[in-house]
Structure 1
């Protein structure tokens, strides 16, 4: 039974100081852990934003765009079956609640943003806004 408990290092070295900062500062509650991991790639004409959201259904994910800020929110609720078995857990690490992150999308063509969700990965294509090139005009002389 005790073999199922995660191993924790108590012998910190210089490099572990940064890795363990958040755990030590906020404690083991996990309430302040990052919402979800995100990768952003430059694919030439557009950016690709990939978010790890394993265990979520597409219906649980919400994308909002307002004033140049893209907010990705996902909500996981505890099922009745989980609540009934709550007293039987030895250790519980899965989190329930709302997870969200916001991104500044300045320089993005907001009307062309597309999203797809497959195998726990939310992928957004963010097309780069085309720079407005001022027209050259010839002025007639009177």
Structure 2
């Protein structure tokens, strides 16, 4: 039997009473992230990303501009509805796998049904909304009503 010399500095470790809880929290976060992540597994076992179109909303003096990236969609695959000042853009981007020639393991381009809804201010002209679709980008112009337009008031010094 051999004896190992004990050196106090080498064997001292800081005890963390919450170490197991921290590890459990880390595992739960990873589990929830994977559950609510932006990917799904289809019937063929292929991991694919869900399609959530990126949207920008800008405000100008005369109107709002809603820009939605919808690459790969045709004009007739996009549905725009307006109900109670809620503007809804929906559709479906279909996965095109021609006769399963390719063996996909991961698909990062998003596919599937999508729906984006935005509440518009009461001070817009909903009957004058204009939609244009070009090169995979949907642009909606939402005109402001007269009372909503910003105006400058000159201050007079007396």
TM-score range, shorter chain: 0.5 to 0.7
The alignment's TM-score, normalised by the length of structure 1, stands at 0.65
Q: Per-residue deviation at 1:117?
A: 0.5
* Residue equivalent to 2:126: 110
Deviations, residues 3-28 of structure 1 (Å, cap 9, x unaligned):
xxxxxxxxxxxxxxxxx98x825355
- Of 52, 66, 69, which residue of structure 1 is paired with 2:83? 66
Decide whether the 8 Å contact of 2:51 with 2:111 is kept in 1: no
The runs of 5 or more residues in structure 1 that have no matched partner are 1-19, 133-142
Counterpart in the other structure of 2:115: 100
Q: Which of 33, 38, 41 is matched with 1:24 structurally? A: 33
Q: Which structure's CA Rg is the greater one?
A: 2
Output the TM-score relative to the length of structure 2.
0.59
Structure 2: distance between partners of 1:128 and 1:25: 41
> CA deviation digits over 1:83-139, x for unaligned, max 9?
62177113222333211100101222101100001111100000012229xxxxxxx
Number of residue pairs aligned between Structure 1 and Structure 2: 110
Asked if 1:78 is matched to 2:95, the reply is yes
In structure 2, distance between residues paired with 1:96 and 1:86: 19
8 Å contact kept, 2:65–2:141: yes
- Taking structure 1 as reference, are residues 56 and 92 closer, same or farther at Cα in structure 2, changes over 3 Å only? same
Structure 2 Cα separation of the partners of residues 66 and 127 of structure 1: 17
Where is the strand percentage greater, Structure 1 or Structure 2? 2
Q: State the superposition RMSD in angstroms.
A: 2.8
SS of 1:88 mapped into structure 2: coil
- TM-aligned CA deviation for residue 43 of structure 1: 1.8
Segments of structure 2 that go 5 or more residues without pairing to the other structure are 1-28, 41-48, 149-158
Partner of 2:72: 55
Residues 56-95 of structure 1: per-residue CA shift (max 9 Å, x gap):
111111100111100001212234xx16217711322233
